[in-house]
Structure 1
């Protein structure tokens, strides 16, 4: 029987989430600008246009663009399950077009360096829980 809340290896889970989120900017470039989500003032992610058309290729050839679009949708769905505080931290760290340093981020949020890393760690775990129903969680 699978436990609903198994003990999570927080360090490995954070690394897995970090590794996924650090590909975000590349995914946007590969998927193309029209698949780049618009971010609202509350850091809610909205896809451009009413319907997102995905570029479907032959059954055998799922191309890089389609895979990038699919992964972006999974990330956006997970982000939108988080509260605006976590979304803002993760957006500033991994998604903002204008790449910025951790120092600039924690100064922007008026927090100490140690508080920034604690809050970021919590946001990464919550993202891991939200992504594809916990697919990124690594159990102990």
Structure 2
């Protein structure tokens, strides 16, 4: 097994897109108290809430608990990225205000092509960070 096998970038980005596209729904399902706070440096911080689902592993896990666990995984992966990647992914997928890609790349003072290149890189880095590369798809 290779330590760094060749990655199918297109399929990996699709998995990241599908996961992060569900972020807003996960926050709604988990409840607003589980929505991570965003600091000025685009670091995500979970609220101090009881995480009973870790202590009740033998019980059935309902939709809310699954959403909470998924949010924790996403937050952990996001916090492993640098601030630039976190900011791009946040603006694209996690901001409460649905923003167009045009508004995002204008906000960041970059061309459209550079925006998509940087977003692609951020998505691959997120896939590497999420659960130790669980989203990566090898060729």
2:74 is equivalent to residue 53 of structure 1:
no
1:78 aligns with 2:77: yes
In the aligned structure 2, how far is the partner of 1:86 from the partner of 1:43?
Answer: 9
Task: Please report how far the alpha carbon of residue 60 of structure 1 lies from its aligned counterpart in structure 2 after TM superposition.
Answer: 4.3
Alignment-derived partner of residue 68 in structure 1: 67
Counting only pairs closer than 5 Å after superposition, residues 5-84 of structure 1 correspond to structure 2 as 5-49=4-48, 52-56=49-53, 59-84=58-83
Residue by residue, what CA displacement relative to the aligned partner does 1:86-114 show, whole Å, maximum 9, x if unpaired?
A: 00000000000111100000000000000
- Quick one: distance in 1 between partners of 2:64 and 2:105? 34
CA distance in 2, matches of 1:137, 1:58: 27
- Unmatched segments (≥5 aa) in structure 1: none
How many residues are aligned here? 137
Match of 2:118 in 1: 119
CA distance in 2, matches of 1:4, 1:73: 26
Distance of 2:111 and 2:28 partners within structure 1: 33
Alignment partners' CA distance in 1, 2:41 and 2:18: 25
Please say if residues 54 and 66 of structure 1, whose CA atoms lie closer than 8 Å, have aligned partners that are also in contact. Answer: no
Q: Work out the CA distance in 2 between the residues paired with 1:20 and 1:114.
A: 23
CA-based RMSD of the aligned residues comes to: 1.2
Provide the rounded CA distance (Å) in 1 between the counterparts of 2:44 and 2:57.
29
How far 1:55 sits from its partner (Å)?
Answer: 4.6
Q: TM-score, normalised by structure 2?
A: 0.95
CA distance in structure 1 between the aligned counterparts of 2:50 and 2:6, rounded to whole angstroms: 39
**Which structure features the higher share of helix residues?**
2
How high is the TM-score relative to the length of structure 1? 0.94
